[in-house]
Chain A
Amino acid sequence: MTNAAIEIEGLTKDYPVGFWRNRKRRSLDNLTLEVEQGETFGFLGPNGAGKTTTLKLLMGLIFPTSGTARVNGRSIDDVRMHREIGYMPEQPYFYDYLTARELLDYFARFFGYSAAERHQRITRFLELVGLSSAANVQLRKFSKGMLQRVGIAQAILHDPHVVFLDEPMSGLDPLGRREVRDIILNLKREGRTIFFSTHILTDAEVLCDRVAVLVGGKLQGVGAPGEIVSMDALGMEILLELREGRALPQTLAGRAKQTGSRYHLEVPEAELYAALEELRSCEARILSVTPTRPSLEDYFLKLVRHENTVMHPAEVILK
């Protein structure tokens, strides 16, 4: 028996376009993916990559053109699947005539909790997302960040096994992002499976066990953030200062970036010693030599810029 929390197989979504709706635009193309139980999985991609489409398909908000998906062993067509999952949509919008407490109470009723249990859960989760003091304020008076927190609270109110978050950090200030990150880490510690889409790569790097990169509706790669980025060759960054009246050797001058009195010089690892030798000859003061490894962002940008680059799956599927 598989231990997958989320199994996606050949999921494809076409939207009809044009006046007669006789043409089709493919929004998601044959997505096949597995997320293990307890994993924190980042779903990365630029705007329009198909991230939200995937989440909407999994939630049953739209229907696939072809393909299937299962969450916790249940088909996405099965309404019982929704008992075990939580979902926060992108830029969540709720009934603004309700207070935060009323909204959570409304959603909690769908899970059949008693009045006492609803009250206890709502109090706990409002506290968790830092909204205890705004519990009885109408949502129309909430800021975007506060709505985001309500969105998270309603998604985890019923202790779901699998939590889907669509761009949970978008629109938040650094403090808000940090708080949401802590909430996700807390969910992760509790052993829940978390599937979240984002284009903020540092968050994915910090939080995710594995990430998938989606570009133009197609899956480009899946793997642990560290493993994905280490595929590329490492470079070395040299930070230096020059003595008065001295200039960089011709061979290095073109590659150096000046910031105030300091120079940043990036060289391939193989050329490090030759570069250092040249810098010694001009009596440069070496402040630091740091290996630079490409970040997830570099990997991501490379994929986005070369959308049609053929990536052999074996290179990137790391389990």
Chain B
Amino acid sequence: MSAMPAVVAINTFREAVRDRVLYNLIFFSLMMIGAAILVGQVSLGIDRIVIINLGLSAISIFGIIMAIFIGVGLVYKEMEKRTLYSLLAKPVRRWQFLIGKFGGLLLTLIVNTSLMTLGLAVALFYVSRHFESSDTTILVAIYFILLELGLITALALFFSCFSSPMLSTLYTLGIYVAGVFAPDIKGISEFTKSPELAAMGKFVYYVLPNFHNFNVIAAAAHGEAVRAALILQNTLYAIVYVAVILVAAAAVFSGRDLK
């Protein structure tokens, strides 16, 4: 990241921290402590599965909520409050500002996710008193969650360039839900007799981000390995998709009159 976006990114991270965004970690910690104690008492040999499932799902949900709700205000809030006026009078280009905002929120999400991962590891160690070699899949699942959060952040940022936070939330959430069910949408469309519906299903499958492939929580809970090809495929997919969305966001924002 060049100097200008990095300056914006660090300030965006600082804003999130000062807005007490990381307080969600307290809820996460309490939840993990409660789950660990409960699982320890009613252990039926599935304590590890429960903790991993619960921990990874919580990390994912907490991250998605943060990515959407902070992401949709990233640009809009700066335009509404006119904090952008002084900033854009400095030698910083609009696309650099956008990359900085994206980087700042991603940094926040990485820090947040890392701390929650640490909490999950502590809870896991508390219930089973050991780590297994298959636990590395948990780290792959965390990595996929981060890729997913990057995609969601880029989408929210894109909508934030031209739409109000409420509408941007609806759009981002809508695309996320459609993306999670992308394979189902494609499957259903293949069974339909209507060629239009089939085409639409295919369109949704190929154009909207496919979030389904990023979910390996069940595999991680059961200690199953994740194929290296899937790791590579998801990484490339996320990078390309995020790049395309950010270019689109820059194109929209660069030509926009500020209020």
What is A's interface to B at a CB cutoff of 8 Å? 15, 56, 59-63, 79-80, 82-83, 85-89, 92-95, 97-98, 106-107, 109-112, 151, 154-155, 164
Provide the main secondary structure of the chain B interface. Answer: helix
The CA of A110 and the CA of B91, in the complex, are separated in Å by 7
CB atoms of A82 and B90 under 8 A apart: yes
Q: Provide the residues of chain B in CB contact with A88, threshold 8 Å.
A: 86
CB atoms of A92 and B7 under 8 A apart: no
Is B42 in the interface zone, CB < 8 Å from A?
A: no
B114 to chain A, nearest CB (A): 23
When the two chains form the complex, which single residue of B83, B88, B92, B255 contacts A59, counting CB atoms closer than 8 Å? B88
When the two chains form the complex, which single residue of A79, A85, A94, A155 contacts B83, counting CB atoms closer than 8 Å? A94
When the two chains form the complex, which single residue of B4, B7, B19, B82 contacts A93, counting CB atoms closer than 8 Å? B82
CB atoms of B257 and A107 under 8 A apart: no
What is B's interface to A at a CB cutoff of 8 Å? 3-4, 7, 11, 14-15, 18-19, 81-93, 255, 257-258
A18 to chain B, nearest CB (A): 16
CB atoms of A97 and B258 under 8 A apart: no
CB atoms of A110 and B86 under 8 A apart: no
What are 28 A-to-B residue pairs whose CB atoms are below 8 Å?
Answer: A15-B257, A59-B85, A60-B88, A61-B257, A62-B258, A63-B255, A79-B91, A82-B91, A87-B85, A87-B89, A89-B86, A93-B81, A93-B83, A94-B86, A95-B83, A97-B14, A106-B11, A107-B86, A107-B87, A109-B3, A110-B4, A110-B90, A110-B91, A110-B92, A112-B3, A155-B86, A155-B89, A164-B89
Known: A87-B89, A111-B91. A61 touches B83 (CB 8 A): no
Identity of the chain A residue whose Cβ is nearest the Cβ of B89 in the assembled complex = A87
Q: Provide the residues of chain B in CB contact with A62, threshold 8 Å.
A: 257-258
Identity of the chain A residue whose Cβ is nearest the Cβ of B19 in the assembled complex = A97
CB atoms of A89 and B18 under 8 A apart: no
When the two chains form the complex, which single residue of B15, B90, B93 contacts A95, counting CB atoms closer than 8 Å? B15
The CA of A98 and the CA of B88, in the complex, are separated in Å by 18
Q: Provide the residues of chain A in CB contact with B81, threshold 8 Å.
A: 93
Identity of the chain A residue whose Cβ is nearest the Cβ of B6 in the assembled complex = A109
A153 to chain B, nearest CB (A): 11
Other A-B pairs beyond A61-B89, A89-B82, 7, CB < 8 Å: A60-B88, A82-B90, A93-B81, A95-B83, A106-B11, A155-B86, A155-B89
A290 to chain B, nearest CB (A): 45
A-B pairs with lowest CB-CB distance, top 4: A87-B89, A89-B85, A62-B257, A97-B18
When the two chains form the complex, which single residue of A85, A109, A154 contacts B86, counting CB atoms closer than 8 Å? A154
